[in-house]
Amino acid sequence: MTEHHVDIAIVGGSLGGVAAVEPASAYPSLLIAEAGWLGGQLTAQGVSAPDEHPFIETFGAPASYLRLRAAIRQSYVDRDGSPPVMAESVLGPQMPFNPGNGWVSRLCFLPQRAADLFERMSSARCRGRVLSVDGANGHLRSVTVEDANGGAHRVHARLFLDATDTGELLPLAGVPFVTGAEAHADTGEPHAPRDARPREAQGFTFCFAVEFCPGEDHTIPKPAGYEAFRVGQPYTLAPLGRDGQPVVYRMFDVSEQGNLPFWSYRRLHDGALLGGNDIALINWISNDYHGGDILTAAPDERARYLDEAKRLSLGFLYWLQTECPRDDGGHGYPELKLRPDVMGTTDGLSQQPYIRESRRIVARTRIVEQDIAAAFHKGARARHFEDSVGVGWYAMDLHPCVGNPTMSLYAPTRPFQIPLGALIPSVGGNLIAACKNIGTTHLTNGAYRLHPIEWAIGEAAGALAAFCAEHDLTPAQVAVDGWLTWRLQARLARRGCPIFWAVDVPHTHPLFVPTQLLLVRGLIRPGSARWHTLRILPDAPLGDDIDLTRLQQIIDECRQHGVLASPVRPDPAMTWATLCRLFEPTLATLR
């Protein structure tokens, strides 16, 4: 047994786990992850056409996530001589370079590009899986890990982050959690079912990549169970929409309904831009597996579900190669060549299944549909959380679920926040949720599970752990003390992490830190002009938009803590920029 003693143990190589590494590294830390690519849904799970929002190039994710996107693009410039801007693309002219030129995302790329960047991380890493935990009720002392060679490691830490895609630490650590769909009587959510359905988790997917090789035949052997999968899934390029009518896609052409081609949906390599043939990621409703819930399954059941899910995906490939309606008439595209090297596997499927839904902690704060759904918020933003540690934006997007294959939801939301209380179990202790295992519901998980949001959760979790290690605090102590929370938020803002939506003051703006730290305290008056826009208008007067009574309370609080560096007299005529500059010396003392 090899013994490790650190301050912070990050358990899991998910995208959130990777994001937690750098902020946690201020103190001795260890990343515990199984062999293979780090990065979860962006790499090992194959979804390197990330689901993002319209502001992603400049706002709405931590600066570290934007640097990651820039580094991926730079890898194409360095290796392939790619231009920084595309004259034409499927998303319009003069767009930042998109290697795959796919229309689901502004950045579609081969997953190994991100995996290579993550592998060069300097953090210490223990390659293995957690077998057991020493501790209970959220208070962990150590975890026992088995590495790929059968060796055993015991990792002792002051703080533990569960950054596994399925919340694997939660049952081991005795942390209360939920799975599947909560009952309407529990959450009050309009779209929640009448009764709780703990097995009704969203389907997962084994993604794969295919190259289009004109004039060639790369048809794979027909997988076992193909006929049942073809009918039951079904395999189609015309899935039913929410109105019960088919939504028709063609392979390479725009459909009669005006839908862009299936092929360029998640294309990862555009041969016209980069040379060679096109390569596309296949992550579609036809290979979403909802035949069983791996979160609640016994080991033998879980193995069966994973095997069926793999055969389901290979069956969809076989259907595309042999039965899919061709744009030019006939059936089947045998030109589609499975590319195992793109996924880093021998069978051509992603190293891990793409997990949409995890075990979720019973948290200090539970985020429900009413907090984020557009129908509940007339202003530009979702519910305001004064303990926000990040932001995100995506629809509540639910795929077919176990036991409810007709379930489909794509409900609009307002740009939302990530409350600190959602990362902290209600039982307290020294465990922090660090990816899609935070305190969402079945419905709101459908919005918080996406790439930049999971990254923001992980970075916040890493920063919280470092803050607790520095000041000898528990996560719950930070959560219940507003002043401590504000100091943590200051640390995040200085890292370039937005905690409030103000799109005209990005992390590169000189007023970003004071803007974030003041706005998160609830200064915008409901119903005002700034309440109805995502812009803060730094050069406009405060006017009636800013709650001067609340501002005075903040001034008094700073004075009570002895950090008010200079007098600040609220005046509706002063601009937001002036207010920020007056507060900057005071905010600089928050550590």
Q: Evaluate the CA torsion angle 11, 368, 384, 502 in order and state its sign.
A: positive
Are 72 and 463 in contact by the 8 Å Cβ rule? The answer is no
251 and 332, same domain (yes or no) = yes
pLDDT single digits (tens) 240-271: 887 788 999 999 999 999 999 999 999 999 99
Question: What's the rounded Cα separation, in Å, for the pair 417 and 393?
Answer: 8
| Residue-level pLDDT at 123 | 67
Beta strands in 112-163 (DSSP E): 125-136, 139-147, 152-156, 159-162
368 and 391, same domain (yes or no) = yes
Are 207 and 343 in contact by the 8 Å Cβ rule? The answer is yes
Are 496 and 63 in contact by the 8 Å Cβ rule? The answer is yes
Beta strands in 148-196 (DSSP E): 152-156, 159-162, 177-178
Q: Which two tokens stand for residue 376?
A: 């509940």
Phi, psi of 111 (to 5 degrees): -60, -25
Q: Which domain-ending residue is among 431, 447, 482?
A: 482
| Residue-level pLDDT at 407 | 82
Q: Which two tokens stand for residue 173?
A: 């650590």
Q: Which residues pair with 363 in a beta bridge?
A: 425
When computed from its CA atoms, the radius of gyration of the chain, rounded to whole angstroms, is 24
Q: How many angstroms separate the Cα of 187 from the Cα of each of 192, 295, 331? A: 8, 21, 47
325 and 374, same domain (yes or no) = no
Q: Is residue 197 part of a domain?
A: no
| Residue-level pLDDT at 89 | 78
138 and 218, same domain (yes or no) = no
Q: Which domain-ending residue is among 447, 482, 517?
A: 482
Q: Is residue 312 part of a domain?
A: yes
Q: Which residues contact 202 (CB under 8 A, 6 or more apart)?
A: 290, 356, 357, 398, 399, 400, 401, 445, 446
393 and 315, same domain (yes or no) = no
Position 424, amino acid: I
Cα of 179 vs its chain's centroid, Å: 18
| Residue-level pLDDT at 35 | 84
| Residue-level pLDDT at 128 | 94
| pLDDT < 70 stretches in the chain | 86-87, 122-123
Q: Is residue 94 part of a domain?
A: no
Q: Is residue 95 part of a domain?
A: no
CATH of the domain at 381: 3.50.50.60
256 and 285, same domain (yes or no) = yes
Question: What's the rounded Cα separation, in Å, for the pair 478 and 457?
Answer: 16
Task: For residue 293, give its domain range.
Answer: 204-343
Q: Which domain-ending residue is among 303, 320, 343?
A: 343
Are 126 and 153 in contact by the 8 Å Cβ rule? The answer is yes
Question: What's the rounded Cα separation, in Å, for the pair 393 and 509?
Answer: 21
| Residue-level pLDDT at 310 | 98
Question: What's the rounded Cα separation, in Å, for the pair 113 and 115?
Answer: 6
Q: List the alpha helices (DSSP H) in 200-343.
A: 226-232, 271-274, 299-322, 340-343
Q: Is residue 351 part of a domain?
A: no
User: How many domains are there within the chain?
Assistant: 3
Q: Is residue 70 part of a domain?
A: yes
Beta strands in 473-575 (DSSP E): none
9 and 133, same domain (yes or no) = yes
Exposure string (b/e) for 153-172, b if CB count within 10 Å is 16 or more?
bbbbbbbbbbbbbbbbbbeb
Q: Could you tell me the pTM of the whole model? A: 0.97
Q: List the alpha helices (DSSP H) in 174-282.
A: 184-187, 226-232, 271-274
282 and 153, same domain (yes or no) = no
Q: Is residue 248 part of a domain?
A: yes
| Residue-level pLDDT at 240 | 87
Q: Which residues contact 244 (CB under 8 A, 6 or more apart)?
A: none
272 and 398, same domain (yes or no) = no
Place of tokens 């208070």: 139
453 and 551, same domain (yes or no) = no
46 and 142, same domain (yes or no) = yes
- Residue 289 parent element (H or E): strand 288-289
| Residue-level pLDDT at 498 | 98
pLDDT single digits (tens) 267-321: 999 999 999 999 999 999 999 999 999 999 999 999 999 999 999 999 999 999 9
283 and 420, same domain (yes or no) = no
- Residue 397 parent element (H or E): strand 396-398
| Residue-level pLDDT at 118 | 95
Q: Is residue 498 part of a domain?
A: no
